Homo-oligomer: A and B are copies of this chain.
């Protein structure tokens, strides 16, 4: 038998106490299990901090009781039997007194990063190299919990709107987004690619299910070293048929974002409140360009495009002028959008594609799609694309497809902006980017 993690032989079988339950157990015996987060040695009186999946517990330790911990580095796995006692100076108003420690699994050496600081001080490469330890820091763990809450907020909102979750291939023979930023692989005896998005699949599935969503990884061989790109990220994708126009798609994107923000606020109620007015402010792309020109951030002769600096400025503008952390930018130039984007017949050269900015960073991209085979063939010819690799996709449009559209939300980007992190790599468990493939 492995040494039991639950009960010493002969001891009464007190069930394991979780840290979050301590306040309800004042005066009662408790038995915690977790990691020895840190020990503060103050002479006769010492404080040990135990960490479990629900939080940190302060343990008041007489020097005579310290013996089992004397050779135990931080992060040793320990059990503490003691009594919960009220103390207004302790975090949560409760601490554990009269502790008896049992060392379950000793750490073998000091940690490579200092987990007991309120904020990790090591450089990002060090934190990422030692992710197996650094992720144990409460701040890093909070980012992981935030992403779980955001993903579930997305899913539950879409399920409530009649969307069905789907699971599509990540290895493909043709890519929707094109460009050089695609990872190539050996698929048995033929070349394949990692998907840059589930775009083609979610459109085909509109024919089967009308409303679909997917939560899954997408891959971009992004060569640039930025704080907002990852080579793999989690894409929250949705697609819906029988729309009137792109406004229906934007409305669902807004509902999805509202569901995500509500889920995040429930998880971390004391964190940065998000300003999200009912009906997010919208600005046409050409009006955004005019604002940026007036602000001196672009010249009329510049190629129409929204740069990261432009996005940041518009984020500030939306906060100042519309009291919103979000801004929907509508009607992007057709040339800036993928081939499947529906044009806006009222504004030649412009599309029914939109983005949503959150605190000045693009977190959503979406739009209405073409839904007729002839339109696809014309656009592909205009763009010099060979339709052959898209034959099974184009078949969908030959057999009756309703007007439809959809969007994709970058999960890590939402979390980054929510937390105010500088770099998206800080809040991703095991980020992938050029030069990093481990752990």
Determine which residue in A234, A345, A439 has the highest number of CB atoms from chain B within 10 A of its CB, and name it: A439
B107 contacts A232, C-beta separation under 8 Å: no
A96: CB under 8 A from chain B? no
Chain B residue numbers with a CB within 8 Å of A262 are none
Task: Identify A429's interface contact among B107, B167, B187, B216, CB under 8 A.
Answer: B167
A162 to B53, CA, bound (A): 9
A244 to B162, CA, bound (A): 42
Q: How large is the interface on A (under 10, 10 to 19, 20 to 34, 35 or more residues)?
A: 35 or more
With A393-B132, A400-B75, A437-B172: A141-B208 Cβ-Cβ less than 8 Å: yes
A130: CB under 8 A from chain B? yes
Chain B residue numbers with a CB within 8 Å of A131 are 204, 392
A372: CB under 8 A from chain B? yes
Task: Identify A4's interface contact among B244, B373, B391, B399, CB under 8 A.
Answer: B244
A170 to B174, CA, bound (A): 19
Determine which residue in A5, A16, A54 has the highest number of CB atoms from chain B within 10 A of its CB, and name it: A5
A136 contacts B245, C-beta separation under 8 Å: no
Task: Identify A107's interface contact among B132, B243, B400, CB under 8 A.
Answer: B400
A109: CB under 8 A from chain B? yes
A34 to B430, CA, bound (A): 43
Proximity bits, A210-238, B CB within 8 Å = 1, else 0: 11000111010101000000011010000
A438 contacts B105, C-beta separation under 8 Å: no
A432: CB under 8 A from chain B? yes
B400 contacts A77, C-beta separation under 8 Å: yes
A6: CB under 8 A from chain B? yes
A157: CB under 8 A from chain B? no
Chain B residue numbers with a CB within 8 Å of A33 are 242, 402
Question: Which residue of B has the minimal Cβ distance to A155?
Answer: B152
A136 contacts B208, C-beta separation under 8 Å: yes
A270 to B260, CA, bound (A): 34
Chain B residue numbers with a CB within 8 Å of A141 are 208-209
Knowing that A5-B242, A184-B186 touch, tell me 17 more A-B residue pairs with CB under 8 angstroms. Answer: A6-B242, A36-B400, A54-B162, A75-B399, A105-B403, A130-B392, A131-B204, A132-B395, A136-B208, A144-B166, A145-B164, A148-B164, A167-B234, A169-B232, A171-B219, A187-B231, A389-B438
